[in-house]
Amino acid sequence: MRKKILDIKNIICIAILLLSGLSIHAQNIDTLFSRGNTAYKNGDYKTAAESYQTILSAGYHSAELYNNLGNAYYRLGYIAPTILAYERAALLDPSDKDIEHNLTLARRMTTDNIVPLGTSLTSRVWEAMVGLFDASTWGIITIVCLWITGILFVMFIYGKSVGVRRTSFYLFIISIALSSLFYAMNRSAHNRINQCPYAIITATNVTVKSEPSNAGGDAFSLHEGAKFAIEETLDGWYKIRLADGKTGWLPLWAAEKI
């Protein structure tokens, strides 16, 4: 009995130590974030960027953090790091208009003028709908809708009148359809982050080849900050596709995934 009590005390002590460690770590993150914000306000953009990067290195990620990092890099005139930071912020919070505005400004720093091909109306509408909220919000909406679906099902089964059961049944069907739609949006929002196929050119200037080899023919050139989709990776090369439809091969060292 005494041994069991000691074991419980040990478990409690370990839990307290772990929670204390997490609390101290969180305080350090808050301190770094505040230090970065203060440095930015004082015009010390390099120190601000270093503070934000330290937080990212510790495993913390948020749209606000990436947006602040992008602001610091923008002030320093770093093209690729600025666009990468804003792109990552936009991935985490696609509905934030400030981030969207900052990303638009940052893209004006680039040299390449890539005119996107037209997309179907269905694709544009779907992307716009998914972009209304982040993945977590879509998840919450889906769960709430499923709860409503369950309540409507109970009302349909145990309703005291034909009218209540009939109305509950129709609303139940609609609720199932909405739950499926919201779940699909949640998965699409998750895939935007976890399966993002895009990268940014980090080299000042790089020649895109017609095949994955330095001996391949020159297809076209890209400059720092240009965005492309990764179609394939092979022996140290990316097969890329630009928004205007151009394709080619690019060495891995010349770009960084969003």
Is the pLDDT at 12 greater than 80? The verdict is: no
Per the prediction, the chain carries an average pLDDT of: 87
pLDDT tens, position by position, 117-135: 777 788 888 888 888 888 8
**Nearest by Cα to 156 from 135, 176, 128, 185:** 176
pLDDT tens, position by position, 150-173: 999 999 998 888 888 999 999 999
What's the pLDDT band for 14 if we cut at 50, 70, 90?
A: low
Percent of the chain at pLDDT exceeding 70: 90
Per-residue pLDDT at 196: 79
Per-residue pLDDT at 95: 84
What's the pLDDT band for 215 if we cut at 50, 70, 90?
A: confident
The CA distance from 192 to 120, in Å, is 19
What's the pLDDT band for 69 if we cut at 50, 70, 90?
A: very high
Per-residue pLDDT at 25: 47
